[in-house]
């Protein structure tokens, strides 16, 4: 199969439901296919063909009529169902189910070693339970190359398991390095905010709006992976890995990460394969769950439920729901949707990443929801080291007041607890260096909680 191949998309839904082919059509186009026909059926699943056998005959006729080179089925097919459907289609026509298509798209978008490993892991996990069935079918039907399996190899299952183990070890090593980098960023005074949500919810557009196209080039020495661009195309899966940019929300320094978009009906094994990418969400200080407000209430509800199932299982950070694309809905419709979804999305922020409407409200909410900073006051002897510490505090926290009295400087600031502890230690070193031969007398300076602290001065 090549890009621009002609395909027919098909979908079965349980009896009574209407089949929506819009998403699978967009997925096929995202993979580079030309959709030349569609077919759907509403009925219970057939164990042999997934569809009814008569519907598969109809599918075969449509494939012949449109000269399609493949059929993409928006369902999860078992290996026997794939084999049986393929047996009714014209010679050489491939059967691709939903998850095979998703993996193909992932493979096309995997531009980093981490993304490539995750795609390979997902492919292996998908192949593992099918390998034995495929070889069994190939031997029975005397078609050893059926479905691309190749010649029968009894060790294939063991090879797959060994490859899975190797890839997981390499991904774990990458995850350890990324966790170290996250902690270094926090120690540098950054709060980590992750954008999560479905594909095409407008995450990348919103990210560009929040980051305000800030040039991060000057920070490349400290944060070499900061990417000054984030795609905002109307395509599924434009973001496979993660893109991080610096955002200014007011008093806090925020690193905003756009992650791979969710998509409906993903099996557990596929989500697990991209666990290391989702760590950017799970280990953030705050998660912005972006939802397309222009979709129907039922679509929004279904996606919110799926996102909650994925996020709340492991995420400990606050989650703020962002209703995006409000430029596409009127006030009455937006109010109706907020009320209907209040149980799943209490107190959401409604914005337009495209026009910038209410983005200021969102940045205020980000600051309000981030972990509290500690208030601190340090009284330092005037020296070059003291001035360096004050400058460091401007870079790593929020300095509210800087007052010079005689030969001392009083600095009041707020920062992450780890930054406050580092500042106290640095202050103690400066004080001791200023009076190396005498016991340091610490004039009481009130902490942010009203208590008095000598550690603010001498590091004790």
Contact 292, 325 (CB under 8 A): yes
Say how far apart CA 140 and CA 421 lie, in whole Å. Answer: 70
Was 327 annotated as part of a binding site?
yes
Was 75 annotated as part of a binding site?
no
Was 326 annotated as part of a binding site?
yes
Residue 176: what are its φ and ψ, rounded to 5°? -60, -40
Was 324 annotated as part of a binding site?
yes
| Partners of 95 in the β-ladder | 71
Was 354 annotated as part of a binding site?
yes
Provide the token pair at 375: 């208030």
| Residue 192, helix vs strand vs coil | strand
Was 88 annotated as part of a binding site?
no
Was 55 annotated as part of a binding site?
no
| Residue 51, helix vs strand vs coil | coil
Was 353 annotated as part of a binding site?
yes
Residues 6+ apart with CB under 8 A from 40: 10, 11, 12, 13, 19, 21
Was 202 annotated as part of a binding site?
yes
- How would you list the strands of the sheet with 70-73, edge to edge? 34-42, 6-13, 70-73, 94-97
Cβ neighbours of 75 (radius 10 Å):
18
What single DSSP character describes residue 356?
A: -
Residue 416: what are its φ and ψ, rounded to 5°? -60, 150
Cα dihedral 304, 306, 311, 312, rounded to 10, equals 80
| Partners of 38 in the β-ladder | 9
Burial of 258 (0-12, 13-18, 19+ CB in 10 A): buried
Was 352 annotated as part of a binding site?
yes
Contact 291, 268 (CB under 8 A): no
Say how far apart CA 245 and CA 278 lie, in whole Å. Answer: 17
Was 259 annotated as part of a binding site?
yes
Strands 408-415 and 398-405: antiparallel
Burial of 416 (0-12, 13-18, 19+ CB in 10 A): buried
Was 84 annotated as part of a binding site?
no
Residues 6+ apart with CB under 8 A from 125: 164, 269, 270, 272, 273
Of 114, 120, 106, nearest in space to 266 by CA: 106
Was 234 annotated as part of a binding site?
no
Was 241 annotated as part of a binding site?
no
Contact 442, 458 (CB under 8 A): yes
Was 203 annotated as part of a binding site?
yes
Binding site for GTP, by residue number, is 197-204, 258-261, 324-327, 352-354
Binding site, by residue number, is 197-204, 239, 258-261, 324-327, 352-354
Binding site for Mg(2+), by residue number, is 204, 239
């Amino acid at each position: 199969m090549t890009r621009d191949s002609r395909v027919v998309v098909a979908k079965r839904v349980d009896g009574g439901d209407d089949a929506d082919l819009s998403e699978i059509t967009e997925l096929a186009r995202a993979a580079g296919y030309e959709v030349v026909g569609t077919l759907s059926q509403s009925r219970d699943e057939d164990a042999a063909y997934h569809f009814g056998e008569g519907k598969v005959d109809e599918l075969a006729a449509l494939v012949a009529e449109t000269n399609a080179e493949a059929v993409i089925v928006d369902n999860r097919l078992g290996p026997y169902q794939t084999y049986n459907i393929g047996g009714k289609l014209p010679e050489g026509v491939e059967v691709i189910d939903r998850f095979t298509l998703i993996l193909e798209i992932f493979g096309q978008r995997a531009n980093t070693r981490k993304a490539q490993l995750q795609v390979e892991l997902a492919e292996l996990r998908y192949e593992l339970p099918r390998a034995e069935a495929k070889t069994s079918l190939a031997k029975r039907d005397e078609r050893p190359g059926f479905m691309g399996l190749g010649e029968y190899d009894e060790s294939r299952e063991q090879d797959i398991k060994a490859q899975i183990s190797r890839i997981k070890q390499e991904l774990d090593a990458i995850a350890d390095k990324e966790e170290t980098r996250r902690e270094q960023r926090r120690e540098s005074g950054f709060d980590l905010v992750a954008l999560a949500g479905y594909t095409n919810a407008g995450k990348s557009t919103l990210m560009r709006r929040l980051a305000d196209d800030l040039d991060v080039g000057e920070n490349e020495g400290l944060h070499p992976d900061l990417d000054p661009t984030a795609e905002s195309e109307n395509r599924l899966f434009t973001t496979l890995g993660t893109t991080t940019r610096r955002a200014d929300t007011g008093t806090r320094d925020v690193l905003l990460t756009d992650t791979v978009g969710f998509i409906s009906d993903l099996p557990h094994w596929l989500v697990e394969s991209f666990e290391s990418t989702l760590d950017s969400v799970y280990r953030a200080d705050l998660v912005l769950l972006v939802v397309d407000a222009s979709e129907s209430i039922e679509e929004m509800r279904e996606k919110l439920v799926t996102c909650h199932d994925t996020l709340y299982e492991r995420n400990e950070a606050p989650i703020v729901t962002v209703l995006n694309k409000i430029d596409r809905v009127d006030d009455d419709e937006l109010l109706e949707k907020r009320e209907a979804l209040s149980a799943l999305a209490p107190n959401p922020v409604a914005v337009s990443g495209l026009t910038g409407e209410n983005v200021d409200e969102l940045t205020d909410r980000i600051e309000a929801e981030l972990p509290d900073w500690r208030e601190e006051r340090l009284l330092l002897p005037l020296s070059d080291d003291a001035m360096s510490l004050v400058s460091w505090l401007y870079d790593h926290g929020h300095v509210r007041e800087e007052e010079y009295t005689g030969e001392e400087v009083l600095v009041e600031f707020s920062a992450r607890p780890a930054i406050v502890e580092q500042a106290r230690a640095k202050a103690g070193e400066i004080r001791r260096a200023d009076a190396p031969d005498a016991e340091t007398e610490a004039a009481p300076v009130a902490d942010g909680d009203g208590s008095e602290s000598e550690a603010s001065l001498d590091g004790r």
